[in-house]
Amino acid sequence: MQIHPGLLTAGFAGGSIGTAVGFMRKGEQLENQGASDAKVIAGSIAGGFTHGLVGMGIGAGTAGTVLALKKILGK
């Protein structure tokens, strides 16, 4: 079974955006809490990874829904 290119593209885009947002958001949050530099870096990476996975799922899920609706509606 071949994965539709639209699903791959949407998953990649969602994952990339989620990673960037998660990295910056978690890093800023830890900085504001006064965490050490090492904790800020480690937390930023973990936050980026987590948000990246969520973004990838949302992107692929949305694209899959659109593709399914397109097939169902025959357009």
pLDDT score at 16: 95
**Does the residue 75 lie in any domain?**
no
Share of the chain above pLDDT 70, in %: 99
Q: Is the pLDDT of residue 75 over 80?
A: no
pLDDT score at 4: 86
Number of domains within the chain:
1
Q: What is the dihedral of CA 36, 40, 41, 45, to 10 degrees?
A: 150
What is the average pLDDT score of the chain? 93
Q: Is the pLDDT of residue 32 over 80?
A: yes
**Does the residue 74 lie in any domain?**
no
Measured from the Cβ of residue 10, the count of other Cβ atoms closer than 10 Å reads 22
Domain span including residue 57: 5-69
- The whole-number average pLDDT for the span 44-53 is 95
